[in-house]
Each structure stands twice: as C-alpha cells, then as structure tokens.
Amino acid sequence: MAASDQKLAIVILISGNGSNLQAIMDAIDHGELPATIRAVISSRQNAYGLQRAVTAGIPTEVLKHEDYLDRKTYDHALQTRIDHYQPGLIVLAGFMRMLSANFVSHYAGRLLNVHPSLLPAFTGLNTHQRAIDAGAKEHGASIHVVTEELDAGPVIIQARIPVSGDDSTETLAAKIKQLEHRIYPLVIRWFAERRIHIQEDSVVFDGKPLTGPLDYPSIKKATR
C-alpha cells in the first residue's frame, strides 16, 4: 500500500473564509497531520475558503440551499457528493447549515465540528458578544462530535483564554480563531492515528472513555 493510501481521507464543509481549512492544509503541508483533503464543499458560492482550496489544488463543489426544495433534499444531495469522495472523516469548518437527523446518522462516528465557545456554554451563534454580555471570565473554543442536537455532541477538547474588561467581539473572535487553528488539526491527527474512537454518544481517547473535554494546554505539554 502506498503511503498516501494510509492517510486519513477527509472532506471539509465550509460556508465562509475558511481559516480553519487553511490551518488544516498547513498542518498537512508541514507533515503534522497524516491526512489528505479529498474535497472542500461550500454552501456559499462566494466563500473565500473555496479560493484557498483551488490554490492548493483541492477539488471544490458548491451546494447552495436556495437550489433545493427543503433541508431534507439539500442534505441528500450533500450526502451524495460527500460519499463520492469516500472520506473517513467529515470536518465542519464554519459550515453554516443545520444538518438533518438522517444526515448525522449516516456519518455517525466520523463527523466533527468546531464551535467558538466553551461548550455547553453559548451554543448557537454570536458567542463572543454573548460571552461579554454574560460577564464570562473565560471564553474559548471546542471541538465536538456532531449529533442531532445543535452543539450538544461529546466535546473532545477545549482551549480557553481569559476575557478582559477591554475585550470586544472583534478581539475575542481573533483570539478564539487562533485557538481553533491549533486544536482542530490536533484532533484530526488523533483521529488519523486512531487514538480517538467515537462510540455512539461517547468518545474513547487512547483506550479510555473521556469523562469530560481534554484541556489543550495540558495536552500540549504532555505531547511535546
């Protein structure tokens, strides 16, 4: 078997800028992630992440929800396109679409998402402003398993920062993006190395069930 065949095949779903896509591509290019991106699929025609993928020579596709009758029809078309590339893992990286139960079930155990908060706090949108409004002392990023309920799947890892009195939504967003760019390629690497196994609603890491999210600084020190 060729070395390239041993790499984890992934499909990445985006809707916008694609900064996490870029972080994943960079990790692959630097030899830090034994994976290959078979396709980038966007829900928006003008997503800048598509240009990032084209520049890197990665196949791209656009599936706009406006072209489909309903979510079920859209998800079926999306599933068909993903399955064409036969990925071992599907990575949501700023994909701004709710996914149906059938779609999530089809990819059970191989569907990940990044969320800009310390889940279960601040599910959904506008997480940075909500953290400020709530007077949160800490904010951060989470990588979690996608389940039928929005942002409710098992959290694999979190990275956190303190919230200062002069933080704005813009400064928090910039800080959180930096955290996302560190922890998302790391989790994908663990998946590629088979250190992570997703079993229904639980995650096994290095042979032991996770009882809570891994903490990025501790993991970083332990894996140096």
Catalytic annotation, residues:
115
Q: Which domain holds residue 97?
A: 3-222
9-27 average pLDDT score:
98
Alpha carbon distance 140, 55 (integer Å): 30
Percent of the chain with pLDDT over 70: 95
Q: Please state, as a whole number, how many other Cβ atoms lie within 10 Å of the Cβ of residue 125.
A: 9
In this predicted structure, which of 60-69, 129-138, 195-204 has the lowest mean pLDDT?
Answer: 195-204
Residue with tokens 């599936």: 63
Query: Residue 142 is part of a domain; what is its CATH number?
Result: 3.40.50.170
pLDDT in tens, 167-201: 999 999 999 999 999 999 999 999 999 999 998 78
Quickly state the pLDDT bin for 5 (edges 50, 70, 90).
Answer: low
Mean pLDDT of the chain: 93
pTM of the model: 0.93
Which residue type sits at 118?
L
**Confidence grade of residue 222 (pLDDT, cut at 50, 70, 90):** very low
pLDDT of residue 200: 74
Asked if pLDDT for residue 213 goes beyond 80, the answer is yes
* Confidence band of 105 (pLDDT split at 50, 70, 90): very high
DSSP string, 128-193: HHHHHHTT-SEEEEEEEE--SSTT-SPEEEEEEEEPPTT--HHHHHHHHHHHHHHHHHHHHHHHHT
For the chain, what is the domain count? 1
